Amino acid sequence: MPVDETRTTQLKELSLRLGYTFRDIKLLNKALTHRSYSNECNNPIILDNERFEFLGDSALDLIVSRYIVLNGRRLREGDLSRIRSQLVNEQSLAVMARELGLGEFLLLGRGEEVSGGRDKNSLLANAFEAVVAAIFLDSSFDTTYQVLLLIMKNVIDDTVINGKVGDHKGRLQTFINSKGLPPVSYKLVDESGPDHKKTFTIQVWVENKPHGAGTGRTKKEAEQEAAKMTLESLASTYS
């Protein structure tokens, strides 16, 4: 897909924020092209970023796994898995995408534009993954690793070094027990996305009432997020 001068200037601005200079700027442009835009263009040479999302998702898993294994030597496998789930999920990636301002660079169809697509967690997280893939395809794994560490290192270190391992379900159950409340239950309320990249939404129920909901790439991840949201809500209620 050709990139005109105005768009090239925009993408160079994003490159500065990423701390990486692209040899092929078209890769970054493709990473920011949502399906709604390519569908409206109805042009076979304008491809969306979904294949890049797939690659970027795998690269992120490996990047985070490599770093936390090397820097969290006392952490067991279960802790490592929870940390990675905390860092590589829709909500966390959307936060990092917002910090980079990815939303302003997205190419969206009219419907997505009107419905606030530039600030949707799902679109931002997917774009972040696609940008990771674009860097990887333009350079190498080692380069991508270094670029991503500059973006994610503080967040990762806060989790690894400061021991903020997110067993929110365990903390919620401890809180529930301390208040003499009945056990919580977790209910699947939504499941979406292609088979290779499912998104699950789980809601916590306490005393037959719905409380916090969470999303994740696995049901366990969504349960952890739902437990976190519920704990925050109940803590303010019982404070």
Tell me which residue has tokens 């939504």: 190
Same domain, 114 and 230: no
Confidence of residue 20 (pLDDT cuts 50, 70, 90): very high
Give me the mean pLDDT over the 117-146 stretch.
95
Give me the mean pLDDT over the 205-224 stretch.
86
Lowest mean pLDDT among 72-86, 150-164, 221-235: 150-164
Of the candidates 48, 79, 112, 129, the residue annotated as catalytic is 129
Same domain, 58 and 124: yes
**Top-ranked range on mean pLDDT: pick from 24-28, 89-93, 174-178, 225-229:** 24-28
Same domain, 172 and 132: no
Q: What is the pLDDT of residue 47?
A: 87
Same domain, 14 and 112: yes
Model-wide pTM > 0.75: no
Of 129, 160, 191, which residue is a domain's last? 160
Task: Give the CATH number, domain containing residue 173.
Answer: 3.30.160.20
pLDDT tens string 32-67: 999 999 888 877 788 899 999 999 999 999 999 999
Of 160, 187, 212, which residue is a domain's last? 160
Give me the mean pLDDT over the 116-143 stretch.
95
* Residue 172 Cα distances to 29, 50, 226, angstroms: 43, 36, 10
- Answer yes or no: 40 catalytic: no
Same domain, 29 and 98: yes
Q: Is the pLDDT of residue 108 over 70?
A: yes
Task: Give the CATH number, domain containing residue 36.
Answer: 1.10.1520.10
Same domain, 63 and 100: yes
Same domain, 150 and 35: yes
Per the CB < 8 A criterion, the answer to whether 71 and 159 are in contact is no
Of 160, 188, 210, which residue is a domain's last? 160
Give me the mean pLDDT over the 170-178 stretch.
81
Same domain, 182 and 146: no
Percent of the chain with pLDDT over 90: 50
Same domain, 56 and 148: yes
Q: What is the pLDDT of residue 26?
A: 95
Same domain, 147 and 204: no
Q: Is the pLDDT of residue 197 over 80?
A: no
- Answer yes or no: 142 catalytic: no
Of the candidates 48, 53, 57, 112, the residue annotated as catalytic is 57
- Contacts of 163-168 with C-beta under 8 Å, sequence gap 24+, read 165/75, 165/79, 165/82, 165/83, 165/86, 166/82, 166/83, 166/85, 166/86, 166/224, 166/228, 167/82, 167/224, 168/224, 168/225, 168/227, 168/228, 168/231
Give me the mean pLDDT over the 74-89 stretch.
81
Per the CB < 8 A criterion, the answer to whether 203 and 186 are in contact is yes
**Among the listed residues 103, 213, 92, the one whose alpha carbon sits nearest the alpha carbon of residue 159:** 92
Number of folded domains that form the chain:
2
Same domain, 91 and 137: yes
Give the residue numbers spanning the domain of 186: 168-237
